[in-house]
Amino acid sequence: MEFKNKILVLEDDVDTALLLKDYLQECDFDVDIFDTVTSALSNIKYSKYSIVLLDLNIPDFNGFEVLKFLNKNKIHIPVIVVSAYSDRNTKLQAFKLGASDYMVKPIDTEELEARIWVHIRSSSSFVDSNKSKFEIFENTIYFDNVPLKLTKIEFEILKILIKHKNKTVKRELLCDCLSSDSKNQRSLDYHIKNIRDKINDNGTIQKHLVTEYALGYKLVF
């Protein structure tokens, strides 16, 4: 299935929001519109967005709060500020808080589309079809942008392997994830096999979850 980029638009002006949504959907983006910072932030934590289009003049909070939230929670999504404010100080503040780009209204939608693609392609959230990727978001692990259905123990094991990616993790450390009555290597191997099945890494040659003989396991990506 082809990955479809998802865009969050935070804009309280209905006409502008609908114009952006209609145009971007024609460009084959999946678009969500929000008119308050509160609603946008509650969704940004649980949805996988490729980019955020951010107006600064929002009724409930200043749009800068979105940039502060992303920084605080280490959520790496490119943000293009789309604002009526054209003064230098506002632009500098946006960039200092982590904005990727800044466009002054009224905007040219074709130029906006071009800028969106530039940031998506240069972003760490852009998916290279030749390279697999693991991400932890809230209490879910994503593999190539697809959420994995893991048990609690599988989640804890894989989380440690992701944290130490490309490095060998000793069996003893991974066994600490197991329940108190099953802290043995045979039980660990059972959970490792299940994880391999769920990431389609169960062939004769492991592409991602590699066994390091007599030592432990290494997650390569």
Top mean-pLDDT range of 19-23, 174-178, 217-221: 19-23
The listed CATH number (3.40.1480.10, 1.10.10.10, 1.20.120.850, 3.40.50.300) that belongs to domain 134-219: 1.10.10.10
DSSP 113-167: HHHHHHHHHHSTTSPPTTS--EEEETTEEEETTEE----HHHHHHHHHHHHTTTS
211 vs 52: CA distance, rounded Å: 39
Q: What burial class does residue 61 get, using C-beta atoms within 10 Å of its C-beta: 0-12 exposed, 13-18 middle, 19+ buried? A: middle
Q: What angle do CA 93, 99, 103 make, to 5 degrees?
A: 90
- Rg of the chain, C-alpha, whole Å: 21
pLDDT digits (tens, 9 = 90+) for 107-132: 999 999 999 988 887 664 434 444 56
Return the domain boundaries, the chain: 6-122, 134-219
pTM here is 0.57
Pairing state between β 209-212 and 216-219: antiparallel
| CATH class name, domain 6-122 | alpha beta
Whether the predicted pLDDT of 63 surpasses 50: yes
Classify strands 146-147 and 140-143 as parallel, antiparallel or unpaired. antiparallel
Token pair 């894989």 is at which residue? 158
Give the pLDDT confidence score for residue 203 in this predicted structure: 66
pLDDT band, very low/low/confident/very high, at 72 (cuts 50, 70, 90)? confident
Cβ atoms of 141 and 147 within 8 Å: the answer is yes
Is the C-alpha dihedral spanning 26, 13, 61, 112 positive or negative? positive
The total number of residues written for the chain in this structure: 221
pLDDT tens across 23-44, in order?
A: 999 988 999 999 999 999 988 8
Cα 206 to Cα 27, 92, 200, 211: the distances in Å are 38, 47, 9, 8
